[in-house]
Amino acid sequence: MTVAVVGPTATGKSDLGVALAERLDGEVVNADAMQLYRGMDVGTAKISPAERRDVPHHQLDVLDVTEDASVAAYQRHARADVTAVAARDRRAVVVGGSGLYVRALLDHMEFHPTDPVLRARLEARAQEQGPGLLHDELAQHDPHAAHRIGRTNTRRLVRALEVVLLTGGPYTPALPEHRYVTPTLQIGLDCDRRALDARIEARVARMWADGLVEEVRALAGPDLQGMGRTAARAVGYAEVLAVLRGERDEATARSDVVTGTRRLARKQMGWFGRDPRVHWLDAQAPDLLEQALTLVARADRGQAPDPGQRRRTLGS
């Protein structure tokens, strides 16, 4: 059975994942989209080699910052990792807070086809003519999709038109049913809102002290163009890039990173909170590891967890 540790940022998922892997003869499979990138260490709070304590980690540092992350590609590679871990008679411990990546790995989920040439052509049109014309074209092919997507949302408009033009059918980015590909236990880490906000503020302060600005400067290069769209939009990196471009001061950027990270945490909790299969534990519990191991043992025996752990909400 695969074990997944999910939930908001700054709740201690990486530490619990390593501890579970140590006790369960396991290997960690990353499910944080930004931790796929090489060199994005400080700003993603990526677990260091020393903190991994010799536990094998997969899907860390597999992309260059110039590349755009792909959920479909991640699904292929991460599922191959999980299969390989099982073949070694070890336990896969999935760790991360990127909801779509977690679902793509764990659940039955198929993706629409892609065409890089067509996508580049659509992106060029959006840049030259504005996204509104793409929205008008999408409305002709798929009025329902056009109604759901804003006229200025270039990324979604390009993707929707790409699918419509490739398939000749509607763009329906429906999420999969809550149905695992293989038996899985999801453990969610919840945290009191005030405590989580304090954790986030402390984490951002630590990132600045550990050299976040220097990390972004090195990744972006002398012309500040060295990062691709996905990497450059990550919380922390986007704000520091604005500082390096002279668009805001460092104190404002740091405050913005705190605010953006708190917003991300609420979004993550909303995503995972809608999944009835997640079994929630208090991230601040002194016996957190033992509680998690009890859940795993019960799941391995085919027993249901304590109903009280079935659903929590941030700040409960």
Q: What is the pLDDT of residues 289-310, one digit of tens each?
A: 999 999 999 999 998 766 545 5
The annotation status of 7 as a binding-site residue, yes or no, is yes
> Cα(239)–Cα(213) distance, rounded to whole angstroms?
10
**Confidence tier at 316 by pLDDT (50, 70, 90):** very low
pLDDT at residue 15, rounded to an integer:
98
Per-residue pLDDT averaged across 68-97, rounded? 97
pLDDT at residue 175, rounded to an integer:
67
The annotation status of 8 as a binding-site residue, yes or no, is yes
Tokens standing for residue 13:
């998922």
**Confidence tier at 227 by pLDDT (50, 70, 90):** very high
The annotation status of 13 as a binding-site residue, yes or no, is yes
pLDDT at 265 exceeding the cut of 80: yes
pLDDT at 312 exceeding the cut of 80: no
CB atoms within 10 A of CB 282: 18
Per-residue pLDDT averaged across 274-278, rounded? 96
Cross-strand bridge partners of residue 26: 91
Question: Is the pTM higher than 0.75?
Answer: yes
**The residue to which tokens 């999420």 are assigned:** 175
pLDDT at residue 177, rounded to an integer:
79
Cross-strand bridge partners of residue 3: 93, 185
CA dihedral (52, 14, 94, 259) in degrees, to 10, reads -140
The annotation status of 11 as a binding-site residue, yes or no, is yes
Domain chopping of the chain, boundaries? 2-109+176-309, 116-167
Average pLDDT value for the chain: 94
SS3 76: helix
Could you say which of 2.60.420.10, 3.30.750.24, 3.40.50.300, 3.50.50.60 is the CATH number of the domain covering 2-109+176-309?
3.40.50.300
SS3 142: coil
In this structure, whether the domain defined by 116-167 belongs to CATH 3.30.1120.80 is answered with: no
**Out of 22-31, 152-161, 248-257, which region has the weakest mean confidence (pLDDT)?**
152-161
Share of the chain above pLDDT 70, in %: 95
pLDDT at 114 exceeding the cut of 90: no
pLDDT at 9 exceeding the cut of 70: yes
pLDDT at 132 exceeding the cut of 50: yes
pLDDT at residue 173, rounded to an integer:
64
**Confidence tier at 314 by pLDDT (50, 70, 90):** low
- Taking only the tens place, the pLDDT of each residue in 169-218 is 888 766 667 999 999 999 999 999 999 999 999 999 999 999 999 999 99
**The residue to which tokens 């990173």 are assigned:** 257
Burial (0-12, 13-18, 19+ Cβ within 10 Å), 84: middle
Share of the chain above pLDDT 90, in %: 88
Per-residue pLDDT averaged across 103-118, rounded? 91
Per-residue pLDDT averaged across 84-101, rounded? 97
**2-6: strand order across its sheet:** 57-58, 26-30, 91-95, 2-6, 184-190, 278-282
> Cα(182)–Cα(29) distance, rounded to whole angstroms?
15
**Confidence tier at 137 by pLDDT (50, 70, 90):** very high
Q: How many residues does the chain have?
A: 316
**Out of 57-61, 110-114, 241-245, 305-309, which region has the weakest mean confidence (pLDDT)?**
305-309
